[in-house]
């Protein structure tokens, strides 16, 4: 006759073998989601910096070029790699009291965010509106 405790020998090892792949995938998915949130924060930061630098420019042409340069430099060398990016600058009436609107869009591949190959990608976009100071000189 087999003792009741002898039938359960190795049960924990079998459960661990069955659950380990699921737990590893869950951990990697959590890392990917965390990196996606960090990438979204980087795009928000780039849009904010670009809008602020465009709002203190002296003319519309330099505002557009400085916004694009600022957004590009804010995204280069960061934790994310944009497969493609675009910077749209809306100046409206470029005068004191007006607004500067900058939209930064960055397309990231999901495989770059995780340690496993996730198919596809996602577009991260951020828009910031910054007022042009009333009291600045022309």
Q: Would you state the pLDDT for residue 101?
A: 95
Domain ranges of the chain: 10-131
Q: Would you state the pLDDT for residue 1?
A: 54
Q: Against a cut of 0.75, is the pTM above it?
A: yes
Cα first-last separation, the chain: 98
Q: Would you state the pLDDT for residue 2?
A: 57
Q: Would you state the pLDDT for residue 104?
A: 96
Q: Would you state the pLDDT for residue 114?
A: 65
Do 100 and 51 touch, CB atoms closer than 8 A?
A: yes
| Residues of the chain predicted below pLDDT 70 | 1-8, 78-79, 113-116, 136-138
């Amino acid at each position: 006759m087999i003792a009741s405790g002898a039938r359960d020998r190795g049960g924990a090892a079998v459960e661990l073998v069955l659950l380990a792949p699921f737990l590893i995938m869950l951990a990697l998915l959590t890392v990917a989601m965390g990196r996606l949130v960090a990438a979204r924060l980087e795009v928000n930061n780039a849009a904010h910096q670009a809008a602020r630098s465009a709002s203190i420019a002296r003319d519309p042409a330099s505002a557009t070029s400085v916004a694009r340069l600022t957004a590009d430099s804010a995204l280069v060398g960061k934790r994310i790699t944009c497969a493609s990016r675009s910077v749209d600058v809306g100046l409206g009436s470029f005068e004191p009291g007006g607004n500067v609107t900058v939209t930064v869009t960055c397309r990231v591949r999901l495989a770059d965010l995780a340690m496993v190959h996730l198919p596809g990608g996602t577009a991260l976009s951020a828009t910031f509106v910054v007022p042009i100071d009333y009291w600045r000189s022309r």
